[in-house]
Amino acid sequence: MRKRKAVLMSIAFTAICCTCLGQAERVSKDEERDWINHVLPLPHEIAIASKITVPPDRIGFLLPSNAGATEMKAVGELKAFIQRGTGIRPAGNGFTIVVGVPDQDGMICGRKLGSIDRLRSVPNREQAYVIEPIGDDQLIVAGLHPKGVYYGTVTLRQLLSRQIDDKAVMIPAARIADWPDLAVRGTWSHNVDADTKAWRIGLKLNCATRATAFHLTGRNKNGPTWEDWKFVGPQTDEAAQLGLFEHITFTPHFNFAEWHGWFEKYYPELLGKGPEAWQVAEGADFGPPRQFQCVCASNPLFVDLLASQMEAHARHGIMRVHCWTTEFFGQCGCDSCKGKNQFVLETHALLKASARVRENYPDFRMIPFYSFSTSDLAGVRAKKLPPDTAQRVVDVLRGSDAEEIIRACYGGPIGEDPPFDELVSNGKTLISWALTPDLNLEGFRSYVGSYRGRIARMIRAGWRGALAFTHRSLHKEKQLADSYPALKLAAIAEWSWNNKGRDMPELARAWATVNNYACPEKFVEFLALMQPVEDRFRWGQHFTFTWQIGAFREAVEGRAEWPFVPGDERDKLTRACRQAEHAAGETDVPSWTLEARLASAMVDLNYAAGDTVRAVREKAKVDPAWQVFERAADRMQESLTSRETLYGLSHASLRNNLTAFREQVSNVVRLVSSRK
């Protein structure tokens, strides 16, 4: 009887839907707001005045006869989305979704699209799209280019996700005109698997880096040749072929280990000469000191070697290669390099090599990458960098055939970009690799906030794109909705597509809505509660115990102050963690509860270490502080285990560093105790 009643109700519901098909219902402002919160990034122009309830078997699609592979992919993914959500293949004719590129008269499949002209004057119109209802039984998704059409269907999928099941699909009569503020939007991270890439494309991110595709395997007696390079990179996939997602191939900095190893083994004459060719990282934040040696860029053999590598890429169909010049600063001291700027010499070498390759491969593009800075980066003193370096490099690039240039803009005020701005007016494409620390949460108010401001400045200056450094371990499918790195990526996607879009609380609310959190407002509350922990601990650094080991040692020895001293702040942070854990619990997402517990252990760990330092200095009992420290470290270990289980990750390096930190604190305690 119960089953028969359910069947009758289903028939009645379907009959109602069929009757109502074509009859739009008004949408309240609150409902419109909720619907818009299902879309990431926020469209530039969006309004939803009404909605239409449609049985899934009555939804159909219409494409122009000349639709290409990109439009076909867009419609295929939209159909698959509806079928997953309803269990029914959408192949009806009651409600039609028209998808494609209109002709020059604004007609698509016999329908006149009035809003398409809006796109002709927007930035990056190749990726722009419009969505427009026609009557109560049609919705058009269109763009001036297939890429825009694809992004329009991405937005429509997000809108349809609000209410979709086997009985009905709620279709908003949305009017949208949208485009990206930057043409190139992505991250400087190397682990992008198929699931993660699909998720990023769904956020309208369109690129990520991958390491060099070739390794040098020998030295040819007749001079460098492309055959000396062994191909080790992945093949191009469908998304790359359609221009929807680029795996940016790059060659490492000339002074980094890979090049250094090749030079040392096969071309020792290309190693930079003299002490100025070397830089030594102090290692305070990154463990043991690291050493870098720049290249002898004036040697003609360097051009030959670069050309052979570029040709190897071209022969494998990789026609765009980012070539990273020397990191930090180094200056070869040989007679030919002396008195000349290292980065100018490297630029000339890259341009000569590229020109040689383009004689046979005219579509090949070498994109030079610059990250020199007068700042103190990674403990490397860069004060010897000639102050006119940026201008001198720009002067070389201005008259070159390099069409695209990458400038790594590190943290803080942008004092070194203006010379590169000149290249924009010279017709060059400028992309920023805007460094945001490899953090989980830090900066959604401060640092990532400054990232948003940096993007705004680049948009005003005419730069075409930005890539942010972000978490490299984001590669598991279940991380894509429930982790700090994923949320940070959403912020990067939002502000590079629509820089004037949501602020962080609004973005958090949309994020929670998109991912079906039980209570979006509690997630907003959770982030606000975690903010002081973030500000105090640079939380997303994943507990940089390597830094803490050195800082603790210096504090015990009286050479520095331990930054976490007892006081009211400790109580406030502990209370914030407890409240954040409670708020996270109400979102019904275990990962956020775990993050709050980790943060609480981190607070206790650092302040107990501070108590230990103070007890040592005051020659007081250290055991009470040490016991608190040990309990916090145990909680941290347990939390790391839970995190590994939840995400399927390994935190071996964190465990090792935490163990080293514990041992150092324990050694101090034992030493002090033995003196009594």
Instruction: Quick: pLDDT tens for 313-331.
Output: 999 999 999 999 998 788 9
Residue 114 or 49, more confident? 49
Please give the residue that has the higher pLDDT: either 309 or 9.
Answer: 309
How large is the average pLDDT for residues 78-86? 97
Question: What does the pLDDT read at residue 499?
Answer: 94
Tell me the backbone φ, ψ of residue 165, rounded to 5 degrees.
-155, -170
Residue 412 has pLDDT above 70, yes or no: no
pLDDT at 280 over 50: yes
For residues 427-450, give the mean pLDDT: 59
- The residue ranking higher by pLDDT, 458 or 539, is 458
Task: Please check the confidence at residue 156 and state whether its pLDDT lies above 90.
Answer: yes
Whole-number pLDDT of residue 22 = 52
259-263, 280-284, 362-366, 625-629: range with lowest mean pLDDT: 280-284
Given a cut of 60, whether residue 413 has pLDDT beyond it is: no
pLDDT at 450: 66
Burial 480-509 (b: 16+ CB within 10 A, else e): bbbbbbbbbbbbbbbbbbbbebbebbebbb
Task: Say how far apart CA 536 and CA 148 lie, in whole Å.
Answer: 42
Neighbours of 556 (CB within 10 A): 21
pLDDT over 70 for what percent of the chain? Answer: 86
Percentage of residues in the chain having pLDDT higher than 90: 52
C-alpha 480, offset from chain centre: 12
Cα–Cα–Cα angle for 207, 208, 214, rounded to 5 degrees? 120
The pLDDT of residue 462 is 93
Give the pLDDT mean for 524-545.
Answer: 72
Q: How much is the average pLDDT of 292-308?
A: 96
Asked whether the predicted pLDDT for residue 416 surpasses 70, the reply is no
Instruction: Supply the angle between the helices 652-674 and 545-556 in degrees, to the nearest 10.
Output: 10
Indicate the DSSP class of residue 508. H
Contact in structure between 491 and 470 (CB atoms under 8 Å): no
Decide if pLDDT at 522 tops 60. Answer: yes
Radius of gyration over every alpha carbon of the chain, rounded to an integer in angstroms: 28
Residue 597 clears pLDDT 70, i.e. is over it: yes
Question: According to the model, what pLDDT value does residue 383 have?
Answer: 56
Give strand pairing partners of 250.
322
Region 399-407: mean pLDDT is 94
Statement: residue 190 has pLDDT above 70: no
489-501 pLDDT per residue, tens: 888 899 999 999 9
> Average pLDDT for residues 338-352, to the nearest whole number?
96
At residue 261 the predicted structure's pLDDT band, cuts being 50, 70 and 90, is very high
**What is the model's pLDDT at position 7?**
36
pLDDT value of position 285: 41
Q: Check pLDDT > 90 for residue 516.
A: yes
Q: Copy the structure tokens of residue 60.
A: 């159909």
Mean pLDDT of 534-552: 63
Distance in angstroms (rounded) separating the CA atoms of residues 283 and 280: 9
Question: Buried b / exposed e across 582-611, counting CB within 10 Å, b at 16+?
Answer: ebbbbbebebbbbbbbbbbbbbbbbbbbbb
CA distance readout (Å), 130 to 47, 82, 113, 171: 12, 20, 9, 16
Q: Are 223 and 295 in contact (CB under 8 A)?
A: no
Q: What is the pLDDT of residue 53?
A: 94
Q: Is the pLDDT of residue 440 over 50?
A: no
pLDDT at 660 over 70: yes
pLDDT band at 538 (very low <50, low <70, confident <90, very high): low
This prediction has a pTM of 0.88
In angstroms, the CA 226 to CA 380 distance is: 34
pLDDT at residue 283, as a whole number: 45
Task: List Cα–Cα distances, 647 to 187, 326, 482, 644, in angstroms.
Answer: 21, 36, 10, 5
pLDDT computed for residue 374 by the predictor: 61
Lowest mean pLDDT: which of 16-20, 25-29, 90-94? 16-20
pLDDT score recorded for residue 417: 63
Does residue 37 surpass a pLDDT of 90? Answer: yes
- Residue 666 banded pLDDT, cuts 50, 70, 90: confident
Place of tokens 């040392």: 264
pLDDT tens-digit map of 455-488: 888 899 899 999 887 655 555 555 677 887 788 8
Q: Which of residues 142 and 243 earns the better pLDDT score?
A: 142
So what's the pLDDT on residue 120?
A: 94
- If one compares 249 and 484, the residue with the highest pLDDT of the two is 249
Is 50 exceeded by the pLDDT of residue 224? yes
Query: How far from 247 is each of 41, 312, 476, 579, CA to CA, in Å?
Result: 21, 17, 18, 41
* HSE (side-chain half, CA atoms, 13 Å) at 5: 2
Please report, for the chain, how many H helices and E strands are present, in that order. 20, 21
Residues 153 and 43 sit within 8 Å (Cβ to Cβ):
no
Side chain identity at residue 601, one-letter code: A
Supply the DSSP symbol for 427: T
CA distances from 136 to 34, 162, 335, 638 (A): 22, 19, 77, 56
Q: What is the spatial distance between Cα 254 and Cα 88, in angstroms, rounded to a whole number?
A: 55
- How confident is the model over 277-298, as a mean pLDDT? 68
Q: What's the whole-number mean pLDDT along residues 301-321? A: 96
Task: Tell me the β-bridge partners of 290.
Answer: 281
533 pLDDT band, cuts 50/70/90, is: confident
| Average pLDDT of the residues in 433-461 | 62
| Among the listed residues 254, 419, 264, 234, the one whose alpha carbon sits nearest the alpha carbon of residue 328 | 254
pLDDT of residue 445: 43
Q: How many CB atoms lie within 10 A of CB 387?
A: 9
Residue 130: beta bridge partners?
Answer: 142, 177
Across residues 373-393, what is the average pLDDT?
70
**408 closest CA partner among 290, 327, 520, 308:** 327
Ramachandran class of 310: left when φ > 0, alpha when ψ lies in -120 to 50, beta otherwise: alpha
Does residue 293 surpass a pLDDT of 80? yes
* CA dihedral for 8, 11, 17, 18, sign (positive or negative): negative
pLDDT at residue 288 above 60? no
> pLDDT averaged over the chain?
85
**Do 198 and 281 meet the contact criterion of CB atoms below 8 Å apart?**
no
Tell me which of 9 and 299 has the higher pLDDT: 299
How far apart, in Å, are the Cα atoms of 85 and each of 169, 220, 523?
Answer: 9, 58, 25
Does residue 19 have a pLDDT over 60? no
